[in-house]
Amino acid sequence: MLRDIFAFEGIKKRDKIIALLQIVAIKTGSELSLESVGRDLQISKNTVEKYLDLFSKVFIIYSVSGFSRNRDNEITKIKQWYFVDNGNRNAIINSFNPLNSREDVGKLWENYLNSERIKKMSYTQNFVHDYFWRNHTKQEIDRIEEKDQRLSAFEYKYRKAKSKIPTEFAKSYPEASFEIINKENYLDYVL
């Protein structure tokens, strides 16, 4: 996969490309500051952006933007990044341990559900705008879908856990539906 990218784009900084993909893999489902990543890799923010755009065009990763309707306390400028395939993510960080011995189960679960949900919505031609939601007090929702100005919020939990809609989100968007997606109900969500 990477060999084709290197040949196609004539990229000379192979080590930076791999390091960037490793950072994205480790930070899957978290906000990614392009400035910070650029500093860590000693490349410009524009180069980071160019590489991420390239990875998106060849279907390795995709981004999700933050949702807001102009609320001051909501985070919208930083994107979250996901892998189209968890296998690619695991290969990039060389982590193939069974789920019961992994510390990144939550990230794998979130990546899987987001990717499969996007596929389902495409297959069923049920096109929605998709986002994540987070505010400055660290309340968050994994996925927001907006269609016809209606909001549906989804929180992903790998292990069965009680969770409720974040207070600030419920206050700001009382019309939104909210659902927890876990191992018991995920098939309806992705199939």
Percent of the chain with pLDDT over 70: 95
Indicate the helix (H) or strand (E) that contains 7: helix 2-9
pLDDT in tens, 73-103: 888 888 999 999 999 999 999 999 999 999 9
pLDDT in tens, 20-47: 999 999 999 999 999 999 999 999 999 9
Buried b (16+ CB within 10 A) or exposed e, 153-168: bbbbbbeeeeeebbeb
Q: What pLDDT sits at residue 8?
A: 63
Torsions phi, psi of 31, nearest 5?
-65, 145
pLDDT in tens, 95-138: 999 999 999 999 999 999 999 999 999 999 999 999 999 999 99
State how far the Cα of 11 lies from the Cα of 3, in Å rounded to an integer: 10
Q: What pLDDT sits at residue 10?
A: 62
Domains and CATH numbers, the chain: 2-190 (1.10.10.10)
Q: What is the mean pLDDT of residues 167-191?
A: 96
